[in-house]
């Protein structure tokens, strides 16, 4: 069994929280190189799990394909959503999702994809 430093198991996925900061796309590339992708949040438990790290971080959410239509990196629409108050407010060209107000249950923000943030990857380990 190969144990990778930095991965945390929660339910049926393992998650990697970076210690560096990168753009959204470079963060996604990093996850993919690790055999994962940016996190897809589809339950309240997973949202609470992601919030516990108390760090601004990119998640697998973007409306780059169709402005105003937020989708997960696997192409699925949002099943649950935890946008922060008045978010997404993308007027300034913010097309990538991050966790920002992590002290609130509703913590998602849209952010400029070119900004550098920490990120969280997810790899499914069972169904």
Binding residues for ligand 2F8, rule: CB under 6 A, are 87, 89, 94, 109-111, 115
Taking the complex as a whole, how short is the minimal distance between the CB of residue 8 and ligand 2F8, in angstroms?
A: 26
Q: State which residue, 84 or 122, has the beta carbon closest to Ca ion.
A: 84
Q: Looking at beta carbons, which residue is closest to Ca ion?
A: 110
Alpha-carbon distance values, 2 to 5, 18, 63 (Å): 10, 19, 35
User: Which residues lie below 8 Å from residue 120, measured CB to CB, with a gap of 6+?
Assistant: 15, 16, 17, 18, 38, 39, 50, 53, 57, 58, 59, 99
- Kindly indicate which of the ranges 21-29, 54-62, 69-77, 104-112 contains the residues binding Ca ion, using the contact rule CB under 5 A: 104-112
Instruction: Please say which residue, 60 or 97, places its beta carbon nearer to ligand 2F8.
Output: 97
Rounded distance between C-alpha atoms, residue 114 and residue 24, angstroms? 7
- Interface residues with Ca ion (CB under 5 A) are 89, 94, 109-110
């Amino acid at each position: 069994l190969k144990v990778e430093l930095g991965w945390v198991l929660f339910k049926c996925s393992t998650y990697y929280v970076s210690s560096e900061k990168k753009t959204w796309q470079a963060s996604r590339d990093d996850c993919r190189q690790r055999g994962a992708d940016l996190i897809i949040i589809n339950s309240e438990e997973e949202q609470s799990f992601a919030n516990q790290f108390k760090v601004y971080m990119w998640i697998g959410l973007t409306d780059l394909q169709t402005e105003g239509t937020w989708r997960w990196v696997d192409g699925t629409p949002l099943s649950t959503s935890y946008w922060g108050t008045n978010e997404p407010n993308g007027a300034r060209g913010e097309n990538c999702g991050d966790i920002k107000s992590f002290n609130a249950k509703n913590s998602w923000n849209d952010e400029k994809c070119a900004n550098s943030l920490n990120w969280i990857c997810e790899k499914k380990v069972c169904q």
